[in-house]
Amino acid sequence: MSTIAPVLTAATVSTAAPQRKKVTITAFRQKKERGEPITMLTAYDYPTALAEDQAGIDSILVGDSLGMVVLGYQTTLPVTMDDMLHHSKAVARGAKSALLIGDMPFMSYQVSTEEAVRNAGRFLQEAGMDAVKLEGGRERVDAIRAIVSAGIPVMGHLGLTPQSINQLGGFRTQGKTATAAKRLIEDALLLEEAGCFSIVLESVPARLAQLISKKLSIPTIGIGAGVGCDGQVLVTHDLLGLFDRFTPKFVKKYADFHAEMQRAFGEYISDVQNRSFPALEHSVEMDEKEWQALQTEIG
């Protein structure tokens, strides 16, 4: 990495976007009341968080999808608290206005409510997050109540809950039968009652997600759950075309960065190989007088 600091000109300083007001969980609720869709994306690093924040995103989720799209695991199960805190800190350094949500990884909230509260607290105390998210329905109510009563806002996550893929039998749509749909509605109401400020609905039939959104006074954030949710979230690496393995049906790809990265890396490799990089404009020269002095000095 270059250690030469860029020169800050008046132009670079004056084009900086004015700081937006910090988005809070109250703003989430108000958006639902006004019928304004809430926007959310994942981020795992400083530059992505900075760009999303400057683009005006309402909320950034440091998702445990980190495990798959950044760390290269097959599932989210191997992700640890240390992984999540490390990436959450980087995101917090980049985003100043968006509501920041840290995703509690597998086994950080399932063992006991004490551990759940302690781990949730670490996201706020150590990593600069504003809230946490955790997966599951009725079986998580005690943990949610305990975390909320410690003053930590909690976002729920229902439907396809990737930390339970071994139980769900893979990454599949949930709530497709009347019985499963009824259970999802009950779970959503229980999470609201337990104190969640919002709930992610992942890979749920659109009509069911809309029905749940109407029944709740807290906002739902959909991913693969249709347009009837109160907001939408996507995994940023899917949106940017950065994840090479697969693209879920519900993703809209807004860019093809994987191909663009390959193109740029290929161009760099051939520029270095044929010595067209670095060119003169990428090089620094010594003052001629100093150069001559050096020549004299070394003979």
Tell the smallest beta-carbon distance from residue 74 to ligand KIV (Å).
14
Smaller CB separation from ligand KIV, 179 or 205: 205
Min dist. Cβ of residue 165 to ligand KIV (A) = 12
CB of 60 to ligand KIV, least distance (A): 11
Q: Which is nearer to ligand KIV, 68 or 268 (CB)?
A: 68
Contact residue for ligand KIV among 70, 154, 184, 200 (CB under 6 A) = 200
> Among residue numbers 74 through 113, which ones bind ligand KIV (CB under 6 A)?
103
Q: Are 95 and 106 in contact (CB under 8 A)?
A: no
Q: Residue 200 CB, nearest distance to ligand KIV (Å)?
A: 5
The radius of gyration of the chain from alpha carbons, rounded to an integer in Å, stands at 23
CB of 58 to ligand KIV, least distance (A): 14
Catalytic residue among 202, 267, 281, 285: 202
Query: Please, which residues have CB within 8 angstroms of residue 268's CB and are 6 or more apart in sequence?
Result: 277
Q: Is 135 a catalytic residue?
A: no
- Closest separation in Å from C-beta 237 to ligand KIV: 9
- The answer to whether 77 touches 35, Cβ cutoff 8 Å, is no
Total residues interacting with ligand KIV, rule: CB under 6 A: 12
Nearest residue to ligand KIV on Cβ basis: 63
Does 240 participate in binding ligand KIV (rule CB under 6 A)? Answer: no
Sole window of 28-36, 58-66, 136-144, 189-197 interacting with ligand KIV (rule: CB under 6 A): 58-66
- Long-range pairs for 40-43: beta carbons < 8 A, 24 or more residues apart: 40/101, 40/221, 40/231, 40/232, 40/233, 41/233, 41/234, 41/236, 41/239, 42/66, 42/233, 42/234, 42/235, 42/236, 42/237, 43/91, 43/94, 43/95, 43/236
Nearer to ligand KIV, 23 or 201 (CB): 201
Rounded to the nearest 5 degrees, what angle is found at the Cα of 45, between the Cα atoms of 42 and 48?
Answer: 65
Distance CA 236, CA 223 (A): 12
Degrees, nearest 5: CA angle 98-132-257? 55
Binder among 42, 59, 174, 203 for ligand KIV (CB under 6 A): 42
Binding segment for ligand KIV (CB under 6 A), chosen from 6-14, 62-70, 163-171, 206-214, is 62-70
Cis peptide before 6 (omega within 30 of 0): no
Q: Which residues pair with 81 in a beta bridge?
A: none
Nearer to ligand KIV, 61 or 181 (CB): 61
Q: How distant, in Å, are the alpha carbons of 287, 293, 298, 299 from that of 290?
A: 5, 5, 12, 14
Query: Binders of ligand KIV among 144-183, rule CB under 6 A?
Result: 157
Return d(Cα 40, Cα 254) in angstroms, integer: 15
Whichever of 60 and 146 has its CB closer to ligand KIV, that residue is: 60
d(CA 251, CA 232): 11
Residues at the contact surface with ligand KIV, assessed by CB under 6 A: 42, 61, 63-65, 103, 157, 200, 202, 223, 233, 235
Residues belonging to the active site: 202
